[in-house]
Amino acid sequence: MSKPVTIVLVYQSLLGIYGDQGNAKVALKRLQLRGIEAELVSVEPGEPMPDDADLYFLGGGEDMAQISALKALQSDGGLRRGVENGGVLLAVCAGFQICGTTLTVGARDEVVEGLGLLDVETRRGEPRAVGEVLHRWTRPDGTESLITGFENHGGRTTLGPAAKPLATVEVGVGNDGSGVEGAVQQVGKGWVIGTYPHGPILPRNPELADHLLELALGRGLEPLPMPEIDELRRQRIDALRG
């Protein structure tokens, strides 16, 4: 009997202010609806991070909570090992920033070392990026899909050569106003995807949710039709495009 797909929700007490825990819950539900056994595990600072999970989720948080989470993850080391062992990590907003090589925090713009899971750097920028977004994502099969969400960040994130953009911006600021959004990078046997939109992003973008699941499982998944979700997406996209 194969073991259940393990989904880890990381440090919700620190990185849970924007409802990004919904990403992990959607991943769990989309597996269960397909008859795939899965379990959701919540890990808080001071608890050992599993290094053999299939999916990890980091969410958004305020500056001091972000740094507390970063220090705890650096000390534990389990998240890095988990990704290198083949896990897939989705990191949103503050979670995205701490996965980079360096970031600045607070009014003093102190530069701190990140987890180094993504070849990106984040610095504070003005004005703050706030509002609904629409991004164009090219899927692995070459077809294009749209990503909707809500960005709320004061950081400007630039990509190094090892990281590739997740998407291009149609509406919103994205990483730094240059027209790209998010980052994708293979780390060891696993993958890290960083992105700014909340929403949460996976309930609003089922194709992206299934892409993460397929990366974690190492195989394709059959479609999961949900006409009501498709209609809501259509309405959001039409509203953004005016």
Active site (annotated) includes residue 153:
no
Across the strands, what pairs with 41? 8
Taking each helix axis from N to C end, the angle separating 206-217 and 21-32, rounded to the nearest 10 degrees, works out to 70
Catalytic residue among 93, 99, 135, 153: 93
How far is residue 122 CA from its own chain's centroid?
Answer: 16
Active site (annotated) includes residue 93:
yes
Which helix or strand (DSSP H or E) is residue 63 part of? Answer: helix 63-76
Report d(CA 62, CA 29) in Å as an integer: 28
Main-chain phi, psi angles of 127, to 5 degrees: -75, 170
Give buried/exposed letters for 160-189 (b at 16+ CB in 10 A, else e): eeebebbbbbbbbbbbbeeebbbbbbebee
Catalytic residue among 135, 153, 198, 211: 198
How far is residue 20 CA from its own chain's centroid?
Answer: 9
Catalytic residues: 93, 198
